[in-house]
Amino acid sequence: VRGTSTLLQDFLSVLDRELRLSHMKLRDFLERFDLDGVEGLNTTEFADLVQRMLPGTNEAGVLYLQAMFDLDGDVTITPQEILDVFRQMRLVVQRVSSQEDARVVAVLNRLSDAAHRDQRRAARAFQEADVEARGYLRPTELPRFVRVLLPQLQPADVR
């Protein structure tokens, strides 16, 4: 089973290779999966793209990737969102250091503190994010929860 960070790296690597081999721009390549003609890929279209790039990826993997790419939370993955994530991942790879680890820990500590400080607000935010009332949050639901508790976070910190 592929780890989630490896899954994201694998997806971006395969997509990059596919674009290079086909000599296509990302927008043109994604249009092949955009069946409804609305800019960006909906959940089903994005799942088809993931399966084409990484055959055998399970539903949890697809949901994880969707959460990572859906920067604005509208459940549509646009070419710009993919480019933004690709750029951010490239920066992360270039700057992998204890400084980045400290940043992640700092964000997690802030989230924990915010949830502890206002437990009712945290519970409401959790219930609102848990749209199917499963009692846990899927990767696609986590950003909504985090944004309610820490609205000042940058998109990279939410991820």
Q: How much of the chain, in percent, has pLDDT values that exceed 70? A: 91
On whether both 49 and 119 belong to a single domain, the answer is: no
Mean predicted confidence (pLDDT) in 60-66: 90
On whether both 83 and 117 belong to a single domain, the answer is: no
Q: How many folded domains does the chain comprise? A: 2
On whether both 32 and 83 belong to a single domain, the answer is: yes
CA distance 12 to 155: 18
The domain of 134 spans 98-158
CA distance 109 to 48: 36
On whether both 89 and 102 belong to a single domain, the answer is: no
On whether both 120 and 145 belong to a single domain, the answer is: yes
Which tens digits make up the pLDDT trace of 96-147?
Answer: 555 666 777 788 888 888 887 888 888 888 888 888 888 788 888 888 888 8
Query: What CATH number corresponds to the domain at position 30?
Result: 1.10.238.10
DSSP code per residue over 66-114: HHHH-TTSSS-B-HHHHHHHHHHHHHHHHT-SHHHHHHHHHHHHHHHHH
- Please give the model's pTM, rounded to 2 decimal places: 0.59
Backbone angles phi, psi at 87, to 5 degrees: -65, -45
Rg (CA), the chain: 17
